[in-house]
Chains A and B, each alone.
Chain A
Amino acid sequence: MIKVEVFASEPPCSGGRLLLKLIDRVRPDYEDKAEFIVHKGVNDATETYGLATTPAIIIDGDIRIIGVCPSEETLRNAFFEAGL
């Protein structure tokens, strides 16, 4: 299983809120190959990846998108490039 980590702020910003909705929409298409983890607010994972801005998406430990909610096309492209 490939780990997909989604980072959103707490309290939520509009970009983070949109990203969580987008993840909910695409998640069923990847659930057999990916484990989705949602992080809200600052935590150890935020520190580990050195994230200064959110929303962010880390796939298999690699930073893929920081600071903006991508389009669905961009998100699916990120998954594809990570082997999903």
Chain B
Amino acid sequence: MVKMEFFTAEPPCAGCVALLELADRVAGAYPEVEVIKHVGMCDEFREYEITYVPAVIIEGGKIAFMGLCPSYDTLVTALAEMGVKR
């Protein structure tokens, strides 16, 4: 199972709100993907050496987005790169 972690600030910025909606969309479309939401500071934020939120970390950092909300299409491409295809 591919793990996709979403990191947002608390209180959230507009990009973080958009990212949380994106996380729900991915979770609905890809039941085989483990979607985890991290809201606010957490151990994983430091572990992955994230600089900015919103951020998405896939499979521990093989694919990462920091400081931006990617488009849904980009996340679909990222999942395809990890072998999860539609």
Contact = CB atoms under 8 A, between A and B. Distances in A.
Interface of A: 15, 50, 52-53, 62-71, 73-74, 77-78, 81-82
B41 to A, nearest CB: 18
A18 B69 CA distance: 20
A15 B81 CA distance: 9
B71 A68 contact: no
Interface SS of chain B: mixed
Contacts of B70: 65, 70-71, 74, 77
B12 interface: no
A67 B58 contact: yes
B84 interface: no
Given A63-B51, A68-B77, A68-B78, A73 B71 contact: yes
Contact of B71 (A62, A69, A71, A82): A71
B81 A68 contact: yes
A19 B52 CA distance: 22
For this complex, into which size category does the number of interface residues on chain B fall?
20 to 34
A53 B61 CA distance: 9
Nearest to A63: B66
A73 B77 CA distance: 13
A77 B68 contact: yes
B61 A78 contact: no
Contact of B77 (A62, A66, A71, A77): A71
Contact of A64 (B49, B65, B73, B77): B65
